[in-house]
């Protein structure tokens, strides 16, 4: 079973942002208006297309040893210095990424009553609605989410898999299979970049947990007042994010105290390091805080896959990455307990990872 909270929750009334946009296009209810300190400074962001590293996955496969080593080095820098990168030549056929986008968009465009047949119960993370809302006072994101557990089958809530559009389930299955393989490959390259055995994560993770979340951000008449998605790091090992074709630029990552936009590249997928890899690598590869902002005229779709160890697995810094100069910074814990902790707390930067942090013991 996917983790669920064990405390009562009263979230009050949550407006559906697509409906708000349709009926009251210029009104922003107070619950969406952020405190001054949280508001995005949209004018201050200068797009710089080359900032986030781009990794050519076809060069990592290993047919040419020198080339592979050079690209593993690039991956290492991307993980160490950025925690985010875009992969190109990843081998997933464009029809697969186009099809998932199409069914996701078709789903979000259904009448509200149809989408509400698959409600996300307060405090849970599967279905249609807003996740990570736990109180009536909490600010809301300018976003509609539709999220489903995919693998292993025991985390699926089959009642939430929609019957419309008709090919939704089949399309998500095909997409998820391809993304799963991509995650395994990327984790293999990540372990190589750490001078570890290629299959170290695969062996450790057991039957990995995989979940999909589709985020739809309608245009917002006051993008300066709201956030599409609150700042957070992902609880996963790694995350694969597909930015919808023709979507506005919306994803931003926090680097050196500045929000850096991630420019969509056609056919590329965005990969980011999640909290679990941060813990396993003893902080060498860190998860990075990110958020989404909205656009005045344009909507945006993102399709996100979270890939993480099986809930039974015990997690802690790997022995190879702990030594005198790198004392242990995280405790050991059960990954299912972390997942539960993650989904039962609001998104708040990297706060959730406090769960695992310990003061390193310095040697004398
Ligand atoms: O829509 C985006 O670009 C961000 C999505 C995201 O960070 C998430 O779903 O965890
Ligand atoms: Fe995220």
Residues 169-208: pLDDT tens digits?
Answer: 999 999 999 999 999 999 999 999 999 998 999 999 999 9
Q: Report the candidate in 103, 226, 228, 233 with the shortest Cα–Cα distance to residue 171.
A: 103
Mean model confidence pLDDT for the chain: 93
Question: Nearest-5° angle of CA 216, CA 221, CA 223?
Answer: 70
Expressed in angstroms and rounded, the spacing between residue 229 Cα and the centre of ligand 2 is 8
Residue 228 has pLDDT above 70, yes or no: yes
Could you tell me whether strands 54-56 and 84-88 are parallel, antiparallel, or unpaired per DSSP bridges? parallel
Q: Coil, helix or strand for 281? A: coil
Residue 100 has pLDDT above 60, yes or no: yes
The whole-number average pLDDT for the span 33-52 is 77
Mean per-residue pLDDT, 64-90: 96
Q: Is the ipTM of this complex over 0.90?
A: yes
The overall pTM is greater than 0.90 = yes
Starting from the CA of residue 252, give the closest ligand. 1
Comparing CA positions, the residue from 349, 253, 258, 264 lying closest to residue 300 is 264
* CA 362 to ligand 2 center in whole angstroms: 33
Q: What is the mean pLDDT of the segment spanning 69-96?
A: 97
Q: What DSSP designation does 157 have?
A: -
The CA distance from 193 to 173, in Å, is 30
Ligand 2 centroid to residue 273 C-alpha, Å: 10
Residue 271 has a pLDDT of: 98
Written as six digits, the tokens of 275 are 């909290």
d(CA 40, CA 25): 20
Look up tokens 């009104």; give the residue.
Answer: 27
Sheet holding 209-217, edge to edge: 54-56, 84-88, 269-273, 238-243, 300-308, 209-217, 144-151, 127-129
Q: Could you tell me the fold of the domain covering 31-356?
A: Jelly Rolls (2.60.120)
**What are the sequence ranges of the domains in the chain?**
31-356
- The two tokens of residue 300 are 């945006």
């Amino acid at each position: 079973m996917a983790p669920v909270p064990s405390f009562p929750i009263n979230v009050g009334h949550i407006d559906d942002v697509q409906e708000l946009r349709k009926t009251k296009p210029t009104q922003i209810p107070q619950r969406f208006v952020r405190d001054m300190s949280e508001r995005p400074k949209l004018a201050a962001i200068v797009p710089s297309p080359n900032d986030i590293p781009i990794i050519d996955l076809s060069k990592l496969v290993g047919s040419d040893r020198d080339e592979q080593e050079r690209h593993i080095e690039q991956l290492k820098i991307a993980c160490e210095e950025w925690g985010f990168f875009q992969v190109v030549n990843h081998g997933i056929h464009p029809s697969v990424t186009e099809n998932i986008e199409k069914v996701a968009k078709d789903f979000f465009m259904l009448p509200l009553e149809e989408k509400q047949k698959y409600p996300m119960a307060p405090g849970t993370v599967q279905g249609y609605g807003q996740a990570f809302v736990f109180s009536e006072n909490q600010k809301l994101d300018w976003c509609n989410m539709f999220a489903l557990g995919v693998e292993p089958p025991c985390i699926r809530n089959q009642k939430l898999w929609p019957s419309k559009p008709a090919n939704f389930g089949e399309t998500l299955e095909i997409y998820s299979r391809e993304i799963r393989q991509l995650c395994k490959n990327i984790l293999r390259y990540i372990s190589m970049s750490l001078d570890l055995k290629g299959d170290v994560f695969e062996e450790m993770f057991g039957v990995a947990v995989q979940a999909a979340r589709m985020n739809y951000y309608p245009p917002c008449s006051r993008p300066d007042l709201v956030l599409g998605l609150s700042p957070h790091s992902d609880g996963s090992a790694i995350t694969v994010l597909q930015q919808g074709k023709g979507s506005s630029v919306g994803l931003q990552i926090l680097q050196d105290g500045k929000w850096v936009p991630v420019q969509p590249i056609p056919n590329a997928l965005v990969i980011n390091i999640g909290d679990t890899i941060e813990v396993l690598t003893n902080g060498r590869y860190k998860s990075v805080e990110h958020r989404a902002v909205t656009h005045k005229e344009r909507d945006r779709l993102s399709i996100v896959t979270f890939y993480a160890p099986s809930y039974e697995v015990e997690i802690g810094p790997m022995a190879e990455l702990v030594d005198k100069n790198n004392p242990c910074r995280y405790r050991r814990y059960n990954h299912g307990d972390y997942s539960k902790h993650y989904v039962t707390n609001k998104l708040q930067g990297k706060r959730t990872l406090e769960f695992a942090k310990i003061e390193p013991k310095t040697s004398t």
